[in-house]
Amino acid sequence: MNDQIDWSNLSFGYMPTDYNVRCSYSDGKWGDIEVSDSPYFNIHIAATGLHYGQEIFEGLKAFRGKDGKIRIFRLRDNAARLRDSAKGLMMAQLPEEKFVEMVKKVVKLNERFVPPYGTGASLYIRPIEFGTSAQVGVKPGKEYEFIVFVSPVGPYFKTGFKPSNICIMRQYDRVAPRGTGRWKVGGNYAASLEAGERAHELGYSAVLYLDPKEKLYLDECGPANFFAIKDGKYITPASESILPSITNKSFMQLARDMGLEVEQRHITVDELETIEEAAACGTAAVASPVGEIDDLDTGKKYIISKDGNPGPVTTELYNRLRGIQYGEIEDPYGWCTIVE
């Protein structure tokens, strides 16, 4: 354990750790796994990852449980999503077993950076793949690099598990219709930076985007998926432009376990008047309850949390998911991989 770190007051950011792991793709095949203690990588100035956006990544976490064991949450789901992103951007698909092996290896190598149980912190794991072929023509590269590094992190939102206010700004789109929204591509996040910074300047934690085609339906909530509770149902937007969040997928299963009906469907802005609870969810945020949604174009304010506290269903979902991640309750679906 690293005694120099104030585990309970970590921000969500990068902290240097001991090692990262790497694997190169060339001549039509993936090479051997390499361990590095350098945070740098030499890349050709004509690499496709720099010029044509052939870059994808994942985000997952490892937790030190109540029993002292280290658990990685939904490791294989992240491996599958990375492969799907690679297919979408015409990149080499990393075999699932190699992904699993590399993630487990990097966590084990940096075990002293896995935060202690009870601090609320976790080890964030960032796998990234990018094109390294030197070319100036717009076409898929033939060489790729896959790297996994880690960093201990605190909560994504500074308020922690407390309601925050978000806003709707119709002048911004996160992605294009039938574009790259369903894949975890760096360009999607670059496109959200201006809107996100503008929202923060106005005092909001995130932007609730609308669908990029008709501007009628809810889309993603900043860097996270959106869900709401209404009439005993867990509802979340359905769209090909939304990243399929693994956390949202987990909450949908837990909601069913709690007796809620789950609906993935279009949710109109007007329907916000009738929802009882809402939250942004994702690996980084887990679940960030929404207190109020302000439509900056119409001036309409949707008050979700009447008393300033998270709703009971959102709270139960959050506690169940965290309980599984930290080994406090049973993991009936085998979501956690224990690092030996």
Catalytic residues: 184
The number of angstroms, rounded, from the C-alpha of 301 to the middle of its chain's C-alpha atoms is 27
C-alpha distance across the termini of the chain, in Å = 16
* DSSP-based helix, strand, coil % in the chain, nearest 5: 25, 30, 45
The number of angstroms, rounded, from the C-alpha of 215 to the middle of its chain's C-alpha atoms is 24
Longest CA pairwise span in the chain (Å):
60
Q: Could you tell me if 327 and 336 are in contact, meaning their C-beta atoms sit under 8 angstroms apart?
A: yes
Whole-angstrom distance, CA of residue 132 vs CA of residue 112: 32
- Smallest CA-to-CA distance from 60 within 247, 185, 243, 190 is with 247
Between the CA of residue 120 and those of 6, 247, 316, 323, what are the distances in Å?
A: 12, 17, 17, 12
Whole-angstrom distance, CA of residue 158 vs CA of residue 76: 29
Region class of 299: left (phi > 0), else alpha (psi between -120 and 50), else beta = left
